[in-house]
Amino acid sequence: MFLTGGLKSLLPHVLRKIIRCNRLSISNTSGIAEGYKQANVVILHKSLADDFEKFCHANDGPLPLLYRSKPGDWKCPSLSSDSDIRTDCLQYTVYEHGASTGSLKSLKEYCEQLKDMVTFYLGCSFSFEKAVQNAGVPVRNIEQKCNVSMYKTSVPCYSVSTFCCNLVVTMRPIPESKLEAAVIATSELKEAHGAPIHMGDPGQLGIQDLSKPDYGDPVHLHPGDIPVFWACGVTGVEAVINCRAPLAFTHSPGCMFITDLKNDNVTVKSSREVPQVHCISQDPLHYSIVSSEAARKIKTLETLIGIDPGDRGIIHLYRPGELLKACLSISHAQSVLITTGFPTHFTYEPPEENDGPPGALAIAAILQALEKEVAIVTDQRAINLNKKIIEEAVQLGILKRPVPLLSYQRDSADSALTFLCESGNPGKPRFDHLIAIERAGMAADGNYYNARKVNIKHLVDPIDELFLAAQTIPGVTTTGVGDGGNELGMGKVKDAVKKHIKNGDVIACDVEADFTIVAGVSNWGGYAIACALYILSTCEIHDRYLRKAVGFPQLSKKMVWLSALPSVTKEEKLLKALVRHGFRSGKTASLEMEVDGLPFYNTHSLVIEKLL
């Protein structure tokens, strides 16, 4: 019998011959025939073959199709010169009507049935392990001399006819400092599943216990390791089980077919397409992926909105990279709650300023286009006024449909938790991202101040409590957008506000958001979020990660997303509507075409044009 020593360097045709003779004492093919492609195997009756091929193309992350045989053909000439699929896998599993009826070392006893069956060879993650090692990233399952861990997830694949199942993934523990290297090493190896589909908390994939894989062996994490998940070809096994074919065969998980094809490292086409990895949540731990080009564009947006036309010292509050991280987090969210409203003009009725609502509606519009749930929460006293503005925004074509309008009051110690979660259960949040834009924020003394240090607490509902409660709810993240430091969410930069902003020692908001976006005018921050979400949605690397490499790219919806972005014409009409309803300029209290004392024409209009 051959033991594991020396198998790394043996040529594939030699290994297949040894496997054919049943002379290997190994349980899986991970780490052998280094640098050569390995394949998952699915063998089905020819009547099912066309639908299964469509299923593979519809879910090409887990099921990259390397070769489809003709009925009864036991060879695969484009993958190997002398192979026989009846004997050349380490072990096979037999399925009858969806149930596993045993494992075999050879399929030769089924030669008659195989004459009417088609073999599918599907890419395997074992193929990329050498490339990962070459990038300086440890492969723990090879180190621990065991099979890779494989898990069923709660992520549905795109169904085709009788083929429907949830995604199966492999997990490899990767040191946090090596995450980006692992992503870059695998991203262009599409025939070996490509880049990861999730990094971080396994619960977000519906995986409850990493120590209990559905297939393969438990692989132990070292201190500092992050669980990283790749789409897995065993998804094909699950599809076979669910289709309940009278007879089908697959490789046994981990026991791959070894091809003659070199798994040559593919160079990324350009530096613009190199993936970047960013941490977007600590509880639960969650990382996201974006192309360098998309990240660069969003950085440009952040720079554009960071100018300080009012010379208020906001440059000292600036947090580089927060726009990208906030928008990555929002991109992963399914349901978003937005709040706005700063009643700075307490001697007027209404006391609202016109910075905030346009930015909030710009965010709501792109979220609607991206088919996310979105609602707005504001002060009870201003509900009817905001309802009129939302109705006009629909008429003006800014929103596709009205946004649900909510209010929040503190009735008990659990009011915020009850508002944010079903029955107050932190495990069932109604929203997974909260955004505050130009929303009056609570200072350290519990009051709310405008820029002139006037307490306006009597006009402000305690929506800050929702952001404080969100800090205790796993999976709910928050973003604050402001331009002076007294806005909700600016607590992250309160020390800088106290030091550099006029009256900052009194007015500084004490409530933090996870991400803080500082803009010359808060509306600009809202416009930038909308534009950044569009950039992320059109980024192929990010889109694939969002959909977990199943289904089809969403780029066909690009024109719908584009039409939802703010424009000079839209914002001009909206500002006229706000002025007509009594929303005043923040700095001057005038009912003119200006925001924060800056004219709409040739100031705000130019910023919008630059952002677009």
Q: Which helix (H) or strand (E) holds 189?
A: none
Clarify whether residues 255 and 292 are in a common domain: no
Clarify whether residues 83 and 223 are in a common domain: yes
Look at residue 268 and tell me if it is in a domain: no
Domain that holds residue 377: 275-611
Q: Alpha-carbon distance 104 to 117, whole Å? A: 17
pLDDT of 7: 67
pLDDT tens readout for residues 299-317: 999 999 999 988 888 999 9
Q: Which two tokens stand for residue 174?
A: 């990767």
Q: Is the dihedral of CA 87, 90, 95, 100 positive or negative?
A: positive
Clarify whether residues 216 and 72 are in a common domain: yes
Q: Which of 262, 296, 312 is the last residue of a domain?
A: 262
Clarify whether residues 282 and 201 are in a common domain: no
Q: Whose CA is closest to 391, among 379, 405, 381?
A: 405
Say whether the peptide bond before residue 566 is cis (omega within 30 degrees of 0). Answer: no
Q: Is the dihedral of CA 265, 135, 232, 9 positive or negative?
A: positive
Measure Cα distances from 8 to 16, 85, 165, 177 in Å: 13, 22, 34, 27
pLDDT of 270: 63
Burial status of residue 170 (CB atoms within 10 A of its CB: 0-12, 13-18, 19 or more): buried
Residue 368 sits in a domain whose CATH number is 3.90.1640.20
- Residue 528's region, left for phi above 0, alpha for psi from -120 to 50, else beta, is alpha
Residues 239, 52 contacting (CB under 8 angstroms): yes
Clarify whether residues 459 and 561 are in a common domain: yes
Look at residue 30 and tell me if it is in a domain: yes
User: How many CB atoms within 10 Å of residue 91?
Assistant: 16
Phi, psi of 90 (to 5 degrees): -60, -35
Q: Alpha-carbon distance 446 to 462, whole Å? A: 10
Residues 417, 465 contacting (CB under 8 angstroms): no
Runs of H (alpha helix) within 220-356: 235-243, 292-305, 322-332
pLDDT of 15: 85
Q: Alpha-carbon distance 447 to 456, whole Å? A: 8
Q: Which of 197, 228, 262 is the last residue of a domain?
A: 262
Burial status of residue 65 (CB atoms within 10 A of its CB: 0-12, 13-18, 19 or more): middle
Look at residue 1 and tell me if it is in a domain: no
* Terminal Cα distance for the chain, rounded: 66
Look at residue 26 and tell me if it is in a domain: yes
Residue ranges of the chain whose pLDDT lies below 50: 1-4
Look at residue 270 and tell me if it is in a domain: no
Measure Cα distances from 260 to 11, 39, 83, 94, 300 in Å: 8, 11, 10, 26, 46
Residues 215, 236 contacting (CB under 8 angstroms): no
Count up the domains in the chain and report the number.
Answer: 2
Give the residue carrying structure tokens 């944010």: 420
pLDDT of 208: 96
Give the residue carrying structure tokens 């509902």: 461
Clarify whether residues 201 and 131 are in a common domain: yes
Integer-rounded Cα radius of gyration of the chain: 28
pLDDT of 2: 43
Residue 119 sits in a domain whose CATH number is 3.30.2040.10
Q: Which two tokens stand for residue 214?
A: 């559905």
Clarify whether residues 421 and 551 are in a common domain: yes
Q: What angle do CA 596, 597, 602 make, to 5 degrees?
A: 100
Q: Which of 210, 232, 262 is the last residue of a domain?
A: 262
Clarify whether residues 214 and 294 are in a common domain: no
Phi, psi of 391 (to 5 degrees): -60, -40
Look at residue 316 and tell me if it is in a domain: yes
Clarify whether residues 477 and 507 are in a common domain: yes
Q: Alpha-carbon distance 66 to 227, whole Å? A: 28
Look at residue 269 and tell me if it is in a domain: no
Clarify whether residues 35 and 150 are in a common domain: yes
Give the residue carrying structure tokens 């003009």: 345
Clarify whether residues 152 and 126 are in a common domain: yes
Residues 331, 320 contacting (CB under 8 angstroms): no
Clarify whether residues 576 and 502 are in a common domain: yes
Look at residue 318 and tell me if it is in a domain: yes
Q: Which helix (H) or strand (E) holds 113?
A: helix 111-114
Q: Whose CA is closest to 173, among 143, 195, 203, 153?
A: 143
